[in-house]
Amino acid sequence: MRTGEELRDHLRAAVQSIDDNDAITDKQQGYVCGLLGKVLGGGESGDVARHQVLEFLFGVSSSKRLTKAQGSVLIEWLTDGANGEVHEALDAWGAERGQLRMEL
């Protein structure tokens, strides 16, 4: 499994290879949110975590601000069984802000 930083670098490189900076489509946005919601859980805490993952990976705190290329890369990554890596990204987001993850 990649670290959060390795994952971010990998996904950003994949986005550059697609080179489509148009705004994410509504369909892509719904799919990205749904896939992340399956991993992070629903409700307000899941929404907060989703925004944190997006901020860490692409510097945006809302799926509405993603590009088509970013949406495509996220969908491919999330449908390839990225559950553990999503949590790595979330942990890395917290670490950049001086937070530690508590195991429950």
Asked whether residue 40 is assigned to any structural domain, the reply reads yes
Query: Highest mean pLDDT range out of 43-47, 66-70, 82-86, 91-95?
Result: 66-70
Residue 101 is assigned to a structural domain of this protein: no
Compute the distance between CA of residue 37 and CA of residue 50 in angstroms, rounded to an integer.
Answer: 7
Higher pLDDT, 55 or 95: 55
Beta-carbon-side half-sphere exposure of residue 30 (alpha carbons within 13 Å): 3
Query: Is 103 part of any domain?
Result: no
Q: Average pLDDT, stretch 63-84?
A: 91
Distance CA(43)–CA(75), nearest Å, equals: 21
Contact 66, 58 (CB under 8 A): yes
Q: Which two tokens stand for residue 11?
A: 């996904």
The CA-atom distances, in angstroms, between 49 and each of 14, 17, 36, 90 are: 23, 27, 9, 7
Q: What pLDDT is attached to residue 3? A: 87
Is 85 domain-assigned? yes
**Beta-carbon neighbour count of residue 65 at 10 Å?**
15
**Whole-angstrom Cα distance, residue 65 to residue 103?**
31
Bigger pLDDT: 44 vs 71: 71
Tell whether 72 is covered by a domain.
yes
- What is the predicted pLDDT for the residue at 44? 87
CA distances to 46, 84, 101 from 97, rounded to whole Å, are: 19, 20, 12
79 lies in which domain range? Answer: 4-96
Supply the pLDDT for residue 100: 58
The whole-angstrom separation of Cα 51 and Cα 62 is: 6
Query: Does 43 fall in a domain?
Result: yes
Higher pLDDT, 20 or 27: 27
- Number of compact structural domains in the chain: 1
Q: Let me know if residue 37 belongs to a domain.
A: yes
Q: Is the pLDDT of residue 94 over 70?
A: yes
- pTM of this structure: 0.84
